[in-house]
């Protein structure tokens, strides 16, 4: 897997801001690009995978580190 093209630091932001900011950032990225999203909102565990499923983007990975979540999202379409 190639390295993420961009990182979105959504630490400290509450739902729905991490997903809204991820959507905006992905819009400006080329197809196939990877976005790393850092979030510490407990709702992000549900919101980010749901956003990917709804928008058609691919959730490449989801992990917990240092008290926050790290999501890798691949832009599709």
Residues acting as catalytic residues: 15
Alpha carbon distance 76, 42 (integer Å): 26
Cα–Cα distance measured from residue 16 to residue 43, given in angstroms and rounded to the nearest whole number:
9
Count other Cβ atoms within 10 Å, centred on residue 34: 19
């Amino acid at each position: 897997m190639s390295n993420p093209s961009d990182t979105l630091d959504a630490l400290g932001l509450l739902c729905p801001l991490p997903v809204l900011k991820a959507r905006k950032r992905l819009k400006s990225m080329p197809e196939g690009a990877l976005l790393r999203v850092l979030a510490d909102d407990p709702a992000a565990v549900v919101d980010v995978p749901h956003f990917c499923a709804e928008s058609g983007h691919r959730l490449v990975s989801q992990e917990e580190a240092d008290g926050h979540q790290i999501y890798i999202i691949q832009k599709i379409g």
